[in-house]
Amino acid sequence: MFRIARELKQIGVLGINRRNAEYTLWYNPRKYYPLVDDKLATKDLAQKAGIKVPELYAVVEFAGQVGGLHQRLDRYADFVIKPAHGSGGEGILVIAGRTGGRYRTVGGQLLEKEDLNHHLFNLLSGLYSLSGQPDVAIVEYRVRVAPVFEAISFQGVPDIRIIVFLGVPVMAMVRLPTRMSQGKANLHQGAIGAGVDMATGHTLHAVWKNLIVSEHPDTSQGVAGVEIPGWRDLLELAASACGLTGLGYVGVDIVLDKEKGPLILEMNARPGLNIQIANRAGLLARLEKVKQNIERLTSLSDRVAFSREQFAAPA
């Protein structure tokens, strides 16, 4: 037992206690949390800084607005409903189209208007929000899967999670939805996590549940060695988005849209630690390296270059 602990420490694996005690509590001042916990605020912030986000269709704040929503959404063929304060991908409803008078989810399930309303009422009353507080529903553009990921995702849209520390991207992974995760890109719901080579943007190993996998369980396509297009731009996007929030240790979630390119989906002030398993590398070692060199990394391009040079996957 102590042997495992010692080995993990040597590799530089970050545990929850250390993440909280030495990173999130230390580098993420509480007052900036609302900026990332409220997806509406994040969207606003990013847009003002000229960073692209999925287009906002509607916001539902009160139960009274639920009835009128259907009419407002008439002109959109598809959309996504999500709680502004949701966590872990809970409470997200993806509508891919309409069949007759009913809504069709991305999974092919047909929903009556009442079903949609019920979901909204639950959402508004805070069922999915972090602390059970009354919440706000966001209705936004449904991202289309970019061609590069089409073969290795099931139903939903994969996202790219990049951990940024003090403006330096330190680790990344691609989260691929599966049948098990019902199209959602959350690892604990059964999505695949694939580590990414910070230098080149090639995917490395992939983890599904606790298994190391080389191909997507639903599409049987290989998940390692896929090149993510425009990797350098993605790193810069993540680094600059992190700078907007005032937080030092952030997980930035980016999606690649077929037409609109990279969009910032959300940011997370307490990003999970499974990314280490997907990359088979410890975060702590990389974070320490950033701490030592942060003085001289003054510009955005410096920081991205540092990341690509230092955190390249071993050949």
Partner 1 sequence: MSKRQLYLLAIILAALGLMVFAYKVFWLKFPLSPQERSYVWNVEAMLKFSARGGAVKVSLAIPTSTRQFAIMDEQFVSRAYGVNTVEEEGGRRAVWSIRKAQDIQTVYYRVVVLRSPRDPAPARIKPPPLPPHRFGGAGLEAAKSLLATVHARSADLDTLVGQLFERLNNPRPGTNLPLLLGRKPTKAKKVELAVRLLSLADVPARSVHGLHLAGELRRAPLLHWIEVFDGKAWRCFDPQSGQPKRPADFLVWWRGTSPLVKADGADRTRVVFSVTHNLEASLTAAVMGTKQTRTQWLRFSLFSLPVSTQHVYRVLLLLPVGAFILIILRNLVGISTIGTFMPVLIALSFRETRLWGGITLFCLVVALGLAARLYMERLKLLVVPRLAAVLIVVVFVMAALSVLSHQLGFHTGLSVALFPMVILTMTIERLSIVWEERGPAQALKQAAGSLLAAALAYLVMNIDEIGHLVFVFPELILLLLAATLILGRYSGYRLLELRRFKVLAAEKN
Contacts with partner 1 by CB under 8 A lie at 1, 4-5, 7-11, 13, 15-18, 21-22, 90, 114-115, 118, 121-122, 125-127, 188-189, 210, 212, 276-277, 280-282
Least Å distance, CB 69 to partner 1, is 17
| Cα distance between residue 274 and residue 210, in whole Å | 10
Two tokens, residue 298 = 């003054």
Q: Alpha-carbon distance 46 to 254, whole Å?
A: 12
Output 131 or 299, the one with its CB closest to partner 1.
Answer: 131
- Write the burial class of residue 241 (CB in 10 Å: 0-12 exposed, 13-18 middle, 19+ buried): buried
Instruction: Tell me how far, at minimum, the Cβ of 195 lies from partner 1, in Å.
Output: 12
Tell me if residue 57 falls in helix, strand or coil. strand
Buried b (16+ CB within 10 A) or exposed e, 94-133: bbbebeeeebbbbeeeebeeeebbebbeebbebebbbeee
Q: Please name the residue that has the structure tokens 């549940």.
A: 209
> At closest approach, how far in Å is the CB of 241 from partner 1?
27
CB nearer partner 1, residue 21 or residue 312:
21
Smallest distance from partner 1 to CB 84, Å: 17
Which amino acid, 203? T
Provide, rounded to whole angstroms, the least separation between the CB of residue 130 and partner 1.
Answer: 13
